[in-house]
Structure 1
């Protein structure tokens, strides 16, 4: 416990205005006091840099004081319900200080010390407000760099906030202080690690680089600690803890607290990925994911009447804990607009305004009385106008440019254009798109022509191409089952004309068009052909029968004949094959195709007239013709039958007459 006995600042008056009343907390860089603003009669918090930090800062160079002042001005312009407001800054006895909004409550570290861990409802409620504050800073081009429970203030709800933190107001502090000291540290020591090691992002350890995604990582670690009651990594030395962030993935909270919803594991994993490019681009993007996760978890449990409290002795077999959905409209007005309590202070400050104007008027009249005074006034006004114009241009326009048009480009083209413009590309999860081919850009954030910080990051969503599904195999299924399978595959079903089938009973699917396995787009129309059962007429066996007999048989059954002739060694007009086959079922009028033999191929009979009888016989027998010799076998051939050049089947007998 801090003692305030030896604190010489107690009772001191800073800048003739802020009376130090008590010490609230002491941190690594500064001490926080409560003070009374005697001019506006309100309680404020005063954060004074430690003498050791101030001396170190002076050793870094004369720019520290200027940076501290510039950062204080920047944060003072950052107005948001979840950001601790900065009212003033100054130097007391060589020590820089900030005057800030006094938040009546505790730090998140105090809450965790008392409760150890929080219910998912409370953890998400605090996380959303913490991310809202960081998102406002990121939009203004600021990075906190030291997000941790000590810098998150939890204001108790007026209805008894100690029991339930869901309706508490959360405010994030220490933006300007971390930035100012970090900037001076960078001048002297390069990229010095400025974040607390338990919450430090890997890129701060390896490269000393920080951006909005560094705050996203730290916010993910804070959420992990609220859910589990501990930080993910511990070690004997700070450097050991820091390098664990580089070498290891943050474990899922449900591995330490069984029963936590999977959506919380995924939210922590997204925020704490070691690769900065794989994290949400800034706190605003992570806030959207946190709100979506909370809404999804709430919708899944709308019928649950009781929300279980997380306990240390919860067994592994416990069911998943319920997370209730809390809509913004259900929150009390003081929680939605926490700045409303500051309005009475501004109204009480109004009576002091006339006195201040009168004093300034007297000074103006005295200075204006002399010619040199008038010139000084003009010069001062011109200088202020120039400074205000330059500052306003830089913060409002100068550090911004417009995002290039990357939609519809290929990935390679987008990377080339972003490189030329000095932008960094971050890729969101790809999505299917009916019109954009694979690896084409379908979405960018920020959109084309919107304002973006020079050298900022652009998030691209790439196309996976048109989404396609294979047609499921439903042949052999009843129509109702087949239709359910096709509809579940996002396909449109229509019935085609049924047909007879010898093997499938009536009402069963015999075919789909397109066929099973064909890849089609969603909502493609699939025609389903159903079986009418076996046809009423059985086709007889016609192979080997004469064509005339086959014709007569088929005509008697009411079937039509289609003939196809082909060469064969079978006798002419013999049926060689048939379609449909023997035993197939067909309906009346079906065409039956018959393959019919034309008989063996014809050969020409050679001339043997006028040849010696024995020579003619040898020639004919050599060509496969049997020979019949008549009259004188030793004579000369005077006639032959069949005659010369006659076309006859092979093996036809030739008769020759010799005299």
Structure 2
């Protein structure tokens, strides 16, 4: 217990209930204390957030929400959350107190673990994480510091195969992620265990935890993490750029099945990993059974013919009886302390393993010493028979573990999903459909058909097990996104995430779009392109330097002068109007528009009102002629007798006059 530095919380009682008795550990985000729940009279662990985090509203809210979710997660391998609250403004969690050590402490003491111990710990870790994945939670920070190894039923943590493992800090990483980034904008994570996708784009799902669990297995087997570097960012990017080495390259002699297990869990492409912790758990259980075969073979070696012993060419080697009347002969099964499949907790056994728990040694009654003749022969015959039966059982078990329960996976590649499902069911398998992927190779597997399968065609698989298939999305194509109005940085990131090449085209002035904003793309939005195709971005240069003045209502001569003074050119078009002739009626572009020097401004100029063509009204009654002219919009002045006939008109017939002009009529007999 770390009590080297004085801690003002030790000895205090929080919320009148939790009396803090000591400090267990201090991390980057919180400190863990040992406390007594005085209401229920039990020891608990109390995790209280550091003051530096309490001022971050986003962190506190997310921390509280995650605590409520984790509290509903009930599993024997998950550190239970009992309560949450605040003390002097600092959020805290009340959790199950686990008597034991962290996996980090064990690795610091022992450097590395045996394969059987490593798989035993990993199996319980994955059981906990799988329960979280089923509940929709992603841990995001799987590492030895968050794995607690409780004391085994036999006492202590020496027998790691029987120890109880519990996983802590579900959801805390997500709360940190929601509020904390470093100077480069990257998520603060434990870089030795961080998945490539978390480094590249900050995205995490169940497969991210699978990757971290694979790194933890690598460290348990080898005593080191796969990557090292002077700076954390260097380590993080090694996960992106390199495949995790196989453990046997560090520790020669490790079984190949462990190399395959680490490789499966730590593939850089998330789609190539087990879909969640439950999928990896199944593979770990199979690997543990595979390791058990080696011990079964060691036991049968005691019954093979021994060179130089009479009759050994066709006889079974017999273990001498212990000289005691009540003694029993010990037949080696699996050495004490090594793994048997029945040692696995009942919640983690495969269906073939049953519910019985076998003892490390089996006992066979031995005949009394001193008998001779018939009884000696009979004793030898009985013992030989028993050993032979044991040999059959051991060999049969070895056959079942290594061959009998396995069959070959069918070939489902390039089949449609329905065809693959039908064939798998015919052969006794279920189909799990993983996340679909684009086909990057030729020939292209049609969209909706099986692109990958795990286990692969003709690979060993347990009879009745599940086969995971990845369906093809066809050739990789991406639609050009709608980027109009977006800033260059965002638009470029969007296109590069789709593996498209970005080219910057000639900029254009815009009165509405600020400088640097995308005006258009070539090709247009929605066009489907292959990775490596180019998209040209046309960006705004902002508003043009010269603003067009308002010229409407000005005399055209004045308008020409104003435009020339601003370095602009005038173009004119005429239009009849009631406005006086040479008046500017309209302009294009409109007033206030930004343009470059020497830009052309088109002016619409009035020709004045439309002219009226006078008809010939001579020789018509004077009153009738006057009415006809007035209807055309001119004024009429009558000279002479208005009751007589029109003999003359001024202006004459066919003349064009402006509206309301005066036309004189001369009327007489």
TM-score normalised to the size of structure 1? 0.48
Q: TM (normalized to structure 2)?
A: 0.47
Structure having the higher helix fraction is 1
